Amino acid sequence: MKLCLERSGTGPTLVLWHGWGLNLHIFDELRDALAAEFEVIAVDLPGHGASEWLPGMDSEAQLSALLNTVPKDAALLGWSLGGQFALRAALRSPSQINRLILIATTPRFTNGPDWNHGLDPAVLGEFARRLRADWGGTVRDFLELQVRGGSGWVAALDALQAALTSHGRGDPAALAAGLELLASTDLRSALPTLTTPTLVICGERDRITPPAASRALTQALVNSQSLTFARAAHTPFLTQPTAVADAVRDFVRAAPLQKGAA
C-alpha cells in the first residue's frame, strides 16, 4: 500500500507517526524546530490524511506498511495511537529503531480489572457508535477531549482542526478500525522485553492517557526515562513545542540510557 510521507531537514533520521483521526501536518511546528539537526520524516497513518486504506486491512498489515517508512537505525516518535504503533514496531524490529520517543502513549488505552489508567471502554464504544452516524461531530469531540484542560487548549484545538482541513480527513473505515485497535490493544506483557532506549513524554492534564499510564509504561520498560509537561494535556508538542523539541533533540543526541535515568 502507499503511505504519504514528507521529508524535511538533514542529519540523523527521525520518523514521526501521528494519532487517531489526524495526519502528518499535526507535527508541522515540531518538524520545523527539529529540521535544522535531523532528517525528519512525517508519515500519514494508513487511511489517514493522504495515505491509502485497503479494505479489511488488519493491524499487522498496517504495522508492516508503517515499518517500511523507517530507515535502519532511525529514531521513531509516536503520539497516541501512533505511539502504540511505535511500541509495536520496536518490539517487532528492535534492530531497526535506535531510539524511541512516545508522546501521550499508553500500553492499554481502556480501563480493565487490573488497569485503571485509561478511558472507560464505554466511552470508546460510544465514539465508535457515533462515528457511524456523525463522522465530523465525533472527530471534533475527540479532538476537543485531547486538548481541553491544558494551557493554550483553544489554540491547540485550532491546530488540530487546521491539520484536518489542510491535508485531508481520515477514511471512515480506517477511523473505525483505529478505535477498535485502541479498544483491544494491551502491550503490557511485552514491555519488559523491549530494550530500545525510550523517552516517555506526557502531559500533566492529559484526560486520555493520564500521567499514571505514562509512569506505569516507564516503569515497565528496562531502558527508559520520562518527562511530564506541566499544564499540558494530550498534545504537549502543540502547547509547548519548543520544550518538546528540545527534549526530543537532547534525547536522540544523548548517550545510551540506563534503567532509572532521570
Catalytic residues: 80, 206, 234
Q: Which three cell numbers stand for residue 226?
A: 520520562
Q: Which residues, at least 6 apart from 108, have a Cβ–Cβ distance to it below 8 Å?
A: 115, 117, 118, 185, 186, 187, 188, 213
C-alpha to C-alpha distances, 257 to 76, 117, 233, nearest whole angstrom: 16, 26, 26
CA atoms within 13 A of residue 81's CA, in its CB half-sphere = 28
Cα 200 to Cα 261: distance, rounded to the nearest angstrom? 12
| Chain Cα centroid distance, residue 61 | 18
- 3-class DSSP state for residue 22? coil
CB atoms within 10 A of CB 192: 10
DSSP letter assigned to residue 16 = E
Cα 79 to Cα 211: distance, rounded to the nearest angstrom? 14
Contact 81, 182 (CB under 8 A): yes
Backbone angles phi, psi at 63, to 5 degrees: -65, -40
Q: Strand locations in 24-145, DSSP E?
A: 39-43, 74-79, 97-103
Taking phi over 0 as left and psi of -120 to 50 as alpha, with beta for the rest, 144 belongs to alpha
Contact 83, 102 (CB under 8 A): yes
